[in-house]
Homo-oligomer: A and B are copies of this chain.
Amino acid sequence: MPMIHVELFEGRSGEQKREFVEVLTRETCRILKCEPAAVDIIFQDVKKSNWAHAGKLAAES
């Protein structure tokens, strides 16, 4: 606890994900008062052809 899922467009670099999980874990522990070992983060890369906003697929916006 906590368990964090992040859905984002595919294409972010390994370097961005590495920094993101470092920062997010540190801030989670600071604000929610928990140990780093308690924090899991899962990214789900989503294709623009699989995400729609306002009735349109992002691939076609």
Question: Contact residues of A with B, CB < 8 Å?
Answer: 1-9, 12, 14, 16-28, 31-32, 36-37, 39-46, 49-60
**Residue contact A32 to B7, C-beta cutoff 8 Å:** no
**Residue contact A3 to B14, C-beta cutoff 8 Å:** no
- The answer to whether residues A19 and B31 also contact, given A25-B54, A36-B55 and a CB cut-off of 8 A, is yes
A56 to B26, CA, bound (A): 11
Of the residues B7, B27, B50, contact of A24 by C-beta under 8 Å: B27
Of the residues B3, B41, B46, B54, contact of A37 by C-beta under 8 Å: B54
A16 to B33, CA, bound (A): 10
CB distance from A18 to the nearest CB of B (A): 6
